Structure formats: structure tokens, C-alpha cells
Amino acid sequence: MILERLNVQNESEIDLSSVAALIGEPARALMLTALMDGLALPAGELSELAGISPQTASAHLTKLLEGGLLAVESHGRHRYFSLAGAEVAQALEALMVIAPLHSSKRKLPDPATCYARTCYDHLAGSLGVMLCQSLLERGWLEQNRLELHLTNLGKNKLEGLGLEVKKTGRACLDWTERRHHLAGPLGKALTAHLLERGWLIRSSGRSLRISEAGKKGLALEFGLRL
């Protein structure tokens, strides 16, 4: 997980108006506000969110990066963008205060979404972090830097659930929890499994909720205390 931050080529050119101009483009403003909860989102998702094509979004994200408003984290072929710091979120909030009508329209991070959501293709939120933690504690998973491998115990247990065992996992930083959750093919497969079984149910947006069966099942199979 490499956190790169592009240095501004000509620093003397960057001033108040430049930063404001970066925010002052509807599509960019949408992407920035989407990141205000500190979550890191991939370029594609941001482009969808802003209602623009991936190419256009890429150009915008590059500018935001160069302007020091965003940080990026490359995960394979994905690039996860997040606000460069709390000061950026603060500035956005300050602007919202003086944006007449929208001070009422602005919504705080949804608690349900914080609890359980999809992070691209896998489970995130505090539930995702808890699950990952539990699998590590039980010895189903082994962590080597950012790689998460199934142990033999884990393989057996997952086979018992009818899951592919060839897949490998990857640690993904959860921005609401500031701890890792399980991503990569394994994370994707596991999440898909939980959805198929009806333990997790897609709610509005990326938010997820747990079914009654899911509560029992997750406690029984993965040792989660919910």
C-alpha cells in the first residue's frame, strides 16, 4: 500500500484562487464531498458518482492530486483516492457553511453505512474490520505485510462453507475504522458468499445490513459477537 503524494511542479503558482478553482467545478466538488467521510474510493466509482466519464474523472483527479487536495493509494489496477487531510475536509465544510441553500442539504456520514458497506467488491465498515480481525485471531488467516493468506485451517473451514480456497486476500485500510479489512479475491468471494446466503443484504447505496440469519450465522461460523 503505497501512499504517494504528487509534488506540485510549480509551487509558486498555487494560491488561494487555484485551490478554490479546483473545488469550484461541479464534478470535482461532487467527488470531493463524496470523500468527506475520509473513505477512499476508486476512480471509477468517483466518476460514476459525479456523473462523468472515466476519462474526464481521471483528468479531474489528476488535477486534484497535483493541487494537494487528494491522496492516492494504488491497489493493483485500482487507484483509491481520498482527501489529503483533515484540513481539506475542514475547508470543504467552511465552504458549505457559506453556500446558502445547501447547508441544510448536506448529510453527515450515514451510521448504517459506517457499520457495514461494500468497499468496491468486498465487505467494509466496522463489520468488515471485525470479521477480518476474527479470522486472524482464529488462525484462519495469516497476514504478511499487506497479503492475507488462508492457513490450512482456514482452507478447511471455508471449504466446509462451500467456498473457493485458491483465492488469496489482501488487506485494505478501512477509513472509517482506520484498521484493515479483508479485500482481494478472497474478500470478494467471501462477501459474495455472505450475500448469496442472505446473511448480508444490500441496502441503499453501498450500505449493507445484516439479516437475523446473518447474525446467528456470523456468530456461529466466524465467531463474531454482534
Contacting positions for its own copies (CB under 8 A): 8, 11-12, 14-26, 28-30, 33, 67-69, 84-85, 87-88, 90-102
Total residues belonging to the chain: 226
Q: Which residue, 184 or 214, is less far from DNA as judged by CB?
A: 184
Element (H, E) at 68: none
Question: Please, what is the minimum distance in Å from the beta carbon of residue 107 to its own copies?
Answer: 13
Residue identified by cell 467456498 is 163
Are 130 and 215 spatial neighbours (Cβ–Cβ below 8 Å)?
A: no
Q: What is residue 197's three-state secondary structure?
A: coil
Q: Which neighbouring-strand residues pair with 58?
A: none
Residue 184 interacting entry, from its own copies, DNA, none, C-beta within 5 to 8 Å by type: DNA
Q: What is residue 111's three-state secondary structure?
A: helix
Q: C-alpha cell of 179?
A: 484498521
Residue 25 touches DNA, criterion: CB under 7 A: yes
Q: How many Å apart are CA 76 and CA 184, to the nearest integer?
A: 10
Residue 200 touches DNA, criterion: CB under 7 A: no
* Interacting span for DNA (CB under 7 A) from 51-59, 134-142, 147-155, 213-221: 51-59
Residue 63 touches DNA, criterion: CB under 7 A: yes
Residue 52 touches DNA, criterion: CB under 7 A: yes
Q: Which spans of this chain sit near DNA (rule: CB under 7 A)? A: 6, 21, 25-27, 42-45, 47, 52-63, 75-79, 184-185
